A and B are shown apart, each in its own frame.
Chain A
Amino acid sequence: MKMKKMMNAAVASRYFAFFITVFLFLVLYGVGMMNFRGFTRPQVFFNLFIDNATLIIVTVGITFTLLIGGIDLSVGAVVALACMILAYLLEYTAVPVAAAVLLVLAFGIAFGALQGYIITKFDMQPFIITLAGMFFCRGMTAVISRDTISITNPFYVSIASARISVFGLGFVSIGAVMALLVLLIAAIVLGFTRFGRTIYAIGGSESSAALMGLPVFRTKVLVYTINGFCAALGGVAYSWIMLSGYTLHALGMEMDAIASSVIGGTLLTGGVAFLPGTLFGVLIQGVILTFITFQGTLSAWWTKIVIGALLCVFIVMQAIITERKSKLSSKSSLENRL
């Protein structure tokens, strides 16, 4: 009975999904360490952040849109377009590195704001608008160049290959540091600012939020703007890894991002997300990929298969939690009756 009570309390906890995700990550990592000697090196852990810097940034952005019950399918294409613009500007024009990066970020902001404005103003399905955005950006990437453009700008390459030591245990890239910074700032914004809490409120009930006098319109547009910025910033981070612009870069990344976010505890219906969980959602994908790399004979596509299975499990789990919760609340409502 006591055990059951504790279980109920755990399930009812807002952080239940987060605990599960962290637990799963630790298990996967543990299995890796037991099977492969190399897995025990700290650098393997740091590589997770280096390799997944883009995905972390993009996932943070998309979590904002999922929180208000929206979605953004354009982020992968925006990453590709950002890489392409950067490659084009750095290789074929005299635009300085800083200006090129700022230009790309400005594009991301403007593009996100435009999508957000259309979605909010005309009360459109975010799915369809951002699908259009995805086609547009992917198409524009090909318009700039159908072939790969390699980035050879020496200053840019030096940024990309810069290594920052971590307590002498290993190193991380600038992209990884940037990703963690974005995550930290986003977590603070969501948890400790009026804007962040308004996002949660809109996800909980948009009409309630409006009736409580919260700035729904502005917040929604801003959410998509932030997401556009994150996608463009993710594009910059991606270009540091790929050092090229190519039409098929980051193909399907929006789906990876949504999957990571959901595995990290985000509800697609909106109103529920916990950014540290999102981080672990990304890291789980990373661990599986690392595992497969160490194993050597399996195809990298196994990552997708495992993620697919995990996603199923998590969605079902969320449904069970929600049902369990409503049962618990109907019970507690009885106890609370006077």
Chain B
Amino acid sequence: MEQVLLEMRQIDKLFPGVRALSKVDFTLRAGEIHSLMGENGAGKSTLVKVLTGVYPRDGGTIRLNGHEIAPRTPKEAQEYGISTVYQEVNLCANLSVAENIYIGREPKKHGFIDWKTMNERAVTLLKRLHITIDVTKTLDHYSVAIQQMIAIARAVDVSARILILDEPTSSLDEQETQRLFAIVRELKAQGMGIIFISHFLEQVYALCDRVTVLRNGELIGSYEVAHLSRLELIAKMIGKNLSAVQEMDQTEEKSQPSADVFLAAKDIGCTGSLVDVDLAIHKSEVVGLAGLLGSGRTETAELLFGIHSITKGEIDINGKKLNISDPMTAMRKKIAFCPEDRKVSGIIGDLSVRDNIILAMQAKDGMLKHIPYARQAEIADEFIRLLQIKVSDREQLVKNLSGGNQQKVIIARWLATQPELLILDEPTRGIDVGTKSEIQKMAVQLAKQRGMAVVFISSEMDEMTRTCTKLVVMKDRRKVAELMDDEVNSENVMKAIAGGEKE
């Protein structure tokens, strides 16, 4: 048995009105990758924040290498060797890469910051993680993936003994994720204890040794990953028995597309972002756009919704040629688009659930048209019920909802405009397993029951193969393959991306 690095015993944490953690135990060994699992609001983040001194704890003990510790700030936690890399990259975009790694611990010469040494050290450090970039450039020059690795480089260099990765892969594509895993495994080999929080089951199984499951702030148990099946794990997370989970896992039968084409895009392209994409979307069809991050999936969706104008080709809706020059035109033509990053371009946290839901409808009707309150309430209630949005009431502020429920509110907002084409860009990113499957089912049901055409964009392959009857595979801003019905499986997508197969 490996040496125990960290022991958290009987941790309690109270928030006004909520018991966020109740008597939670957690043990981390050296040289182990330990996953914390649970649905949103289960207490994973709270536990981590107690450990890193962001929140004070209301009870329990934390022992590091047998000594009791009580970090009160992230800085104190860092001094104990506990470093965290958060879901959203918590670095400063206006500072250089080197500075982001060393700020607060800059090498000095005669009392002043020694920029030359700092840059040299940053280069050496990043080289160990196989990253070669210009460290003197500001951080906003680099992609989120690179920023994430820079955050890890920083965390590791603080001579960390414990590294906490909170949803580190939520904005990385497959290749980038693999690269991150390689780094994490290397750190594990060096004897570091790593806490890995992720919603991606497959990643947990690929990377982790042990898993601790939390539910509603309570400890469910710690298990060896090798001895726990995926279904058992999900059952523990959502607190239902195995058979119920198996039922949930059964796919909703796919929607059969009708013969009517709702939207046909012919050789559409946009200089610099997309090259000659052909796309036909039928009524009652769920079309998936597959491909790596940056392959042109989102760009295609944005062209369909008029966020960027096409510079080439044409778009027909219901057989009529149309110029979709801006989102308003698209909305009038009954197209709806739930964008990728719900925090930045979707949710308005300080407004109520009701306000958020009627927003797109109001925009479509024009700002001057008054929608009576009773009507607003009716619409809001209808969608809260339809999508099973968990709210205390419709006037609750959206920022107080969990990620999954926020996502549902955005979907509700667009459904309220009664679209015929619904574009969902990464609707399940960063939300828990239960809600994920609900959203997938919802997409299929909308197509089935309302005859809606749905475009589904996701980085998770099994989610796509489960819901879509047609997959359009994108690579390097081109369409490289179109898979129909039986061809829809992850193997074919991989092949298409790898370039072994040409149309």
Check if A and B associate: yes
**What residues of chain A have their CB less than 8 Å away from a CB belonging to chain B?**
12, 14, 188, 191-194, 197-198, 200-201, 203-205, 207-215, 271-272, 325-326, 328-329, 332-334, 336-338
Q: Which residues of B contact A204 (CB under 8 A)?
A: 92-95
Interface: B175 (CB within 8 A): yes
- CB atoms of B143 and A337 under 8 A apart: yes
C-beta contact mask, B143-169 vs A, less than 8 Å → 1, else 0? 111100000001000000000000000
A188 to B113, CA, bound (A): 10
- CB atoms of B104 and A198 under 8 A apart: yes
Cross-interface CB contact of B143 among A12, A197, A203, A333, cutoff 8 Å: A333
Q: Which residues of B contact A209 (CB under 8 A)?
A: 92
- CB atoms of B294 and A334 under 8 A apart: yes
C-beta contact mask, B47-89 vs A, less than 8 Å → 1, else 0? 0000000100000000000000000011100100000101000
Q: Which residues of B contact A326 (CB under 8 A)?
A: 140
C-beta contact mask, B100-116 vs A, less than 8 Å → 1, else 0? 00011010000111010
Cross-interface CB contact of B92 among A200, A213, A215, A332, cutoff 8 Å: A200
Interface: B205 (CB within 8 A): no
A-B contact pairs, 15 of them (CB 8 A): A192-B112, A193-B111, A193-B112, A197-B95, A201-B103, A204-B92, A210-B74, A212-B91, A212-B103, A213-B73, A213-B74, A214-B104, A215-B75, A333-B144, A337-B293
Q: Which residues of A contact B91 (CB under 8 A)?
A: 205, 208, 212
- CB atoms of B143 and A205 under 8 A apart: no
A228 to B417, CA, bound (A): 54
Q: Which residues of A contact B92 (CB under 8 A)?
A: 200-201, 204-205, 208-209, 271
Q: Which residues of A contact B74 (CB under 8 A)?
A: 210-213
Q: Which 3 A-B pairs have the closest CB atoms?
A: A204-B92, A333-B143, A213-B75
Q: Which secondary structure dominates chain A's binding surface? A: helix
Interface: B285 (CB within 8 A): no
Cross-interface CB contact of B113 among A14, A194, A212, cutoff 8 Å: A194
Cross-interface CB contact of A201 among B95, B143, B176, B293, cutoff 8 Å: B95
- CB atoms of A211 and B86 under 8 A apart: yes
**Besides the known contacts A205-B91, A209-B92, A338-B176, 13 further A-B residue pairs in the complex with CB atoms under 8 A apart:** A193-B111, A194-B103, A194-B104, A200-B92, A201-B95, A204-B93, A205-B92, A211-B84, A213-B104, A271-B92, A333-B143, A334-B143, A337-B293
Q: Which residues of A contact B73 (CB under 8 A)?
A: 213
Shortest distance in angstroms between B266's beta carbon and chain A's nearest beta carbon? 26
- CB atoms of A193 and B94 under 8 A apart: no
Q: Which residues of A contact B95 (CB under 8 A)?
A: 197, 200-201, 204
In chain A, what residue has the closest Cβ to B114? A192
A203 to B73, CA, bound (A): 20
- CB atoms of B94 and A214 under 8 A apart: no
In chain B, what residue has the closest Cβ to A332? B141
Q: Which residues of A contact B143 (CB under 8 A)?
A: 329, 332-334, 336-337
Shortest distance in angstroms between B229's beta carbon and chain A's nearest beta carbon? 33
Interface: B133 (CB within 8 A): yes
Q: Which residues of B contact A201 (CB under 8 A)?
A: 92, 95, 99, 103
Interface: B19 (CB within 8 A): no
A29 to B439, CA, bound (A): 65
Interface: B223 (CB within 8 A): no
Interface: B90 (CB within 8 A): yes
- CB atoms of A192 and B90 under 8 A apart: no
A334 to B273, CA, bound (A): 11
- CB atoms of B176 and A337 under 8 A apart: yes
- CB atoms of A207 and B112 under 8 A apart: no
Q: Which residues of B contact A205 (CB under 8 A)?
A: 90-93
- CB atoms of B142 and A333 under 8 A apart: yes
A123 to B263, CA, bound (A): 51
Q: Which residues of B contact A213 (CB under 8 A)?
A: 73-75, 78, 104
In chain B, what residue has the closest Cβ to A213? B75
Interface: B489 (CB within 8 A): no
Q: A208-B91, A337-B176 are in contact. Are A214 and B103 (CB under 8 A)?
A: yes
Q: Which residues of B contact A210 (CB under 8 A)?
A: 74
Shortest distance in angstroms between A252's beta carbon and chain B's nearest beta carbon? 30
Cross-interface CB contact of B99 among A197, A208, A211, A215, cutoff 8 Å: A197
Shortest distance in angstroms between A320's beta carbon and chain B's nearest beta carbon? 16
A46 to B81, CA, bound (A): 54
Interface: B230 (CB within 8 A): no
A334 to B113, CA, bound (A): 33
Cross-interface CB contact of A197 among B113, B140, B145, B175, cutoff 8 Å: B113
A326 to B344, CA, bound (A): 15
Cross-interface CB contact of A14 among B86, B115, B138, cutoff 8 Å: B138
Shortest distance in angstroms between B429's beta carbon and chain A's nearest beta carbon? 18
Shortest distance in angstroms between B122's beta carbon and chain A's nearest beta carbon? 14
Interface: B321 (CB within 8 A): no
Interface: B179 (CB within 8 A): yes
Cross-interface CB contact of A203 among B90, B94, B103, B138, cutoff 8 Å: B94
Q: Which residues of B contact A207 (CB under 8 A)?
A: 90
Among B78, B140, B144, B293, find the residue whose CB has the most chain A CB atoms closer than 10 A.
B140
A205 to B73, CA, bound (A): 17
Q: Which residues of B contact A271 (CB under 8 A)?
A: 92-94
- CB atoms of A338 and B94 under 8 A apart: no
Q: A326-B140, A336-B143 are in contact. Are A198 and B103 (CB under 8 A)?
A: yes
In chain B, what residue has the closest Cβ to A335? B143
- CB atoms of B103 and A329 under 8 A apart: no
Shortest distance in angstroms between A44's beta carbon and chain B's nearest beta carbon? 36
Q: A207-B90, A213-B75 are in contact. Are A325 and B112 (CB under 8 A)?
A: no
Q: Which residues of A contact B94 (CB under 8 A)?
A: 200, 203-204, 271-272
A331 to B173, CA, bound (A): 17
Q: Which residues of B contact A325 (CB under 8 A)?
A: 140
Shortest distance in angstroms between B183's beta carbon and chain A's nearest beta carbon? 14
Q: Which residues of A contact B179 (CB under 8 A)?
A: 338
In chain A, what residue has the closest Cβ to B85? A211
Q: Which residues of A contact B54 (CB under 8 A)?
A: 211
Q: A213-B75, A271-B94 are in contact. Are A197 and B106 (CB under 8 A)?
A: yes
In chain A, what residue has the closest Cβ to B54? A211
In chain B, what residue has the closest Cβ to A333? B143
Cross-interface CB contact of B140 among A208, A329, A336, cutoff 8 Å: A329
A326 to B133, CA, bound (A): 18
Shortest distance in angstroms between B173's beta carbon and chain A's nearest beta carbon? 8
Shortest distance in angstroms between A210's beta carbon and chain B's nearest beta carbon? 7
- CB atoms of B142 and A188 under 8 A apart: no
Shortest distance in angstroms between A153's beta carbon and chain B's nearest beta carbon? 39
